[in-house]
Structure 1
């Protein structure tokens, strides 16, 4: 690769140049709501004693740790994944170049998703429960969650893995939960936070003009996705009937008009598995409406020869060139990284909960320039 540099750690130790040369291709898939996964392809051959290479090497064994970092140009190295090997795939052939080993690596959320147990959390704030579930193996970044204001003791019961309960708590409270590589090899951070739709320092995407860095931008709108949400419950302490309804997103719109404003959806979702207090119901209906608003899905591909930054989910990026309703800010939902000897390509999936003013509106970012 002329513009991109690769760095790999095996059990927190930098790989040698000889070890780096073993890898044919590395693919890393990062997405909101799922664990990051990497597939590292290694060419296999037979040595002079008739033994297959690499297969028995220590670094390639199950549950050994691998960290993949990449940088473009003069930028800093960015960690794409840091976690254990969870699977091996072998393809053995009689001819030259027909044999290979693929190592499958998951991020450290797998550490929170191994042991199922039953645990009771009595009258504890959500943030405290989250920190308890994360434990000491991972660093934690946890946003506070408003108290439900219960007049009686509240119980949260874990029946399953810690990661399953973390995802359930995130869903109930309109939060994101995910694990990202830490600053140093062998250490990861579990994040439990609200969605941030504020553009950062990421360079934008440009479709048209001499400085363009993407050559195709595909967009789909699912007009049936935006909805209103309702929920109901009976408060145990006094048997009061509680209800909640939301039809307008609470999160910021990534454009001039939210899609709920544009389409005035008539679909209504009745929520189940909510908690019993009014604040619980309000958080659940608001979260469902916010999520349903991301009805725009876009895809684009970035080559390291055209774009000099490493992207990741949860970032907000600006797209210029589509113009009209389609130009503007998008949330990065998924990044598929492909690294080999000849190239480094990032395939993006973007989400948006709004549209821009269009050509008849005022001048907005997202036009040609």
Structure 2
């Protein structure tokens, strides 16, 4: 397996000289969190004995895009966003001084301002589209059409845009996130379920002559599998509505059950969600 990569600085492909200054790139991609890259660049001493590194690397909110190519597959962007911080580490030992640039995806621009905003008689998907379109760095959206909620109510945003979007997403069984586009500075705002199909890349192999990863870690939490219950008062007839869900209703990735004994599961009572039956059901699903 052969791997190649590209780096773009402020939407321009990095030169060979600039690439030679990078010694390490680590990219972290997590669910419902901003993706983050850490780019390590050595710090040297100039002829006058002063610490030296290229000043262009440390401009806050200048952009970095990183793409990777495996074998004959096309290049895939792993992150495209601004520099949001950096760390200097200096040492008297040769080769131990370096600069680490911290890059996050363009969802960071959805987290710059907290506010209170009211949405009346607006479908959830229309709200998501509107919020994404308010950010110039997000060039387009990927929001599949779904069945409209017939019981529109007033929705109040309290917090940043990305906090608001992720709160809406959780109650509707989807995720809110920002992906790199096909070209630099053309990020895509997504409000949808995760795909169920693979992306075409080869499987991870840990052992043997065809291994392509160095380590693999799995963490199991025996306290997490639970049954959930939530109740609310129906505004129309004042009756109590109760909904229940269990981890056993989730689709298994294998043939073995999640737990060997029913006695191992716990029960959690969720806070009443003051919306419709539609959002109550999705609140339960996202907790499983």
Q: Pick the TM interval, shorter chain.
A: 0.7 to 0.9
Deviation string, structure 1 residues 129-180 (Cα, Å, up to 9, x no partner)? 1111112531211134544442xx5011111110000111122122122211
Question: Equivalent residue for 1:131?
Answer: 129
Alignment gaps of 5+ in structure 2? none
Give the aligned length. 284
Alignment of 1:1-369 (within 5 A): 3-55=2-54, 57-136=55-134, 137=136, 138=138, 139-150=140-151, 153-206=152-205, 210-213=209-212, 218-247=217-246, 251-259=250-258, 263-264=261-262, 266-272=265-271, 274-289=273-288
Alignment gaps of 5+ in structure 1? 290-369
Question: Equivalent residue for 1:329?
Answer: none
The whole-number CA distance in structure 1 between the counterparts of 2:280 and 2:218 is 33
The whole-number CA distance in structure 2 between the counterparts of 1:27 and 1:218 is 17
3-state SS of paired residue (2:99)? strand
The whole-number CA distance in structure 2 between the counterparts of 1:221 and 1:208 is 22
- TM-score of the two chains, using structure 2 as the length reference: 0.87
3-state SS of paired residue (2:283)? helix
3-state SS of paired residue (1:132)? helix
Question: Equivalent residue for 1:334?
Answer: none
| CA gap 1:276/1:228 in 2 versus in 1, 3 angstroms | same
3-state SS of paired residue (2:29)? strand
3-state SS of paired residue (1:134)? helix
Query: Is contact 1:79–1:181 with CA below 8 Å preserved after alignment?
Result: yes
State the shift of 1:246 in Å: 1.5
State the shift of 1:236 in Å: 2.6
- TM-score of the two chains, using structure 1 as the length reference: 0.70
3-state SS of paired residue (1:245)? strand
The whole-number CA distance in structure 1 between the counterparts of 2:285 and 2:98 is 49
